[in-house]
Copies of this chain bind each other. A is one copy, B any other.
Amino acid sequence: MQAQAHYDYLIIGADAAGNSAAGQIRRRHKEATIGILEKGAIISYGACGLPYAVSGKIDSIDKLIHFTPEAFGGRTKADVLVGHEAIGLNTDAKKVQVQTEHGALEIGYGKLLIATGAAPIRLPFIDYAHPGVFELKTVPDGRAIKSYVASGKVKRAGIIGAGYIGLEAAETFREMGLAVTVIEALDRAMPRLLESQSNQIANQMQKEGVEFLTGVRAEAMHSDGDGIVLTTSAGELQFDLLLVAVGMRPNTSFLDSSGLALDKGAVVINQKGETSLADVYSGGDCALVHHALLGKAVYYPLGHTANKQGRIAGVNMASPPEQQLEFAGVTGTQVFKFFDTAYAATGLSAAEAAANGFEPVEVSALRPSKAGYYPGSGKAKMSLVFDQKSQQLLGAFYSGPLDSYAMIDAASALIYKKATASEIAWMDFAYAPPFAPVWNALISAAGKLLGDE
């Protein structure tokens, strides 16, 4: 597809936020021209499903791809321009500088959405071009890992980083029969979770045969005849495959001279998705997001948030003032699966709450996940953070069976609506033996604050 010199609406990035925006714009303006730039060849894919597509639990990586560029372009009557990388932005001239394999060009815009997402943080001493060294963010990443393991040469996988991508990959590699070592510079996995949850994850790793090295820094790599040698603060480790998963950074380096306000690399936006400059919007993993409880923007890149921010930005780019939307923001809800256990969190930890002017108090309840006598009932733990004075719910942390994770959604709703412990403790949540006990871990934990035993 040939780029036009100008689009009424130009979107940089054809994934969750960008495509969500395109749909909203087209609903509101049947005739406007919409261009979508994508530096790669693949748009609109479920990055969060990659660990399961690599392991084969999802039988084909292709299933993660929601739309081809042609299909999405047809659906939204937009020009989806793959192989088009934004390399600069001139907001005075309202033009984006673009690099393609055929050379550079400039594309003008009426309104612009920056939805370039995030990329894995790179460690300077890692040779990412070395065979067996991988990241896990894109469909090509997933395909490369899968075929590399399928070659049969891989016995030992090393993972740098015990965040959720590193842990999901650890599960994946164990399911593929590899020896797995996870190296974490901090003293525990998933530092956003409670320490008790991190301990539970560490115990699971031991049970599942995953070696877990905490407080160990990777420092250098080289290769020898027997594979990849990773030098760490705890000595040399030898792997056939090395996955680096040490966090994400916004894809915004092309904006450095644009004059756009950034915060540690993330695009600063308000609740409408507007940036610091006129007619330029942003959303998704390249941007900040408003936190409903803190009342300020934070960097919290997650796929479901990107979808919402893209939709909001698209609505606002294409709507008159009286139809503009303000995003109420996130509570920071997340869940991930680690073998047979779900870990979920929403809102603030006690430390975050204290740092933001609350007086936190934390209570926990460990309860059966279904009626105790029902087969498959496990142990569900809910820890709640309340403000001591107002008794308002500030945060919730769940660990337990996969099929009871959704009490984190009830907790998120309760945080939005500023519910108190004495309200939550008596709420009417569904009970039947195959689903939940009479008092589930969420209401029981709230009851603890009121003195229940």
Interface set of A (CB-CB < 8 Å, partner B): 16, 27, 46, 48-49, 52-53, 57-58, 63-64, 292, 302-305, 307-308, 312, 327-337, 342, 344, 346, 371, 373-375, 402-410, 412-414, 416-419, 423-424, 426-436, 438-440, 442, 453
Contact = CB atoms under 8 A, between A and B. Distances in A.
A383 to B, nearest CB: 16
B373 A64 contact: yes
Nearest to A452: B311
A373 B49 contact: yes
Contacts of A429: 304, 333, 409, 412
Contact of A426 (B46, B53, B327): B327
A422 to B, nearest CB: 9
Given A48-B433, A328-B423, A435-B337, A428 B304 contact: yes
A430 B417 contact: no
Contacts of A426: 308, 312, 327-328
A342 B432 CA distance: 10
A436 B336 CA distance: 11
B371 A46 contact: yes
Given A307-B438, A402-B403, A419-B413, A46 B433 contact: yes
25 contacts: A16-B438, A46-B371, A48-B431, A49-B371, A49-B374, A52-B434, A58-B374, A292-B428, A302-B431, A303-B431, A304-B431, A307-B439, A346-B428, A346-B430, A402-B435, A405-B435, A406-B407, A406-B409, A409-B409, A409-B410, A409-B430, A412-B427, A412-B429, A413-B424, A413-B427
Nearest to A424: B413
A304 to B, nearest CB: 4
Contacts of A416: 419, 423, 427-428
Contact of A335 (B375, B419, B432): B432
A48 to B, nearest CB: 5
B410 A63 contact: no
Interface-central residue, A334, A375, A405, by most chain B CB under 10 Å: A405
Contacts of A48: 371, 431-433
B337 A434 contact: yes
Contacts of A417: 413-414, 417-419, 423
A142 B414 CA distance: 39
Contacts of A335: 430-432, 435-436
Contacts of A337: 432, 434-435
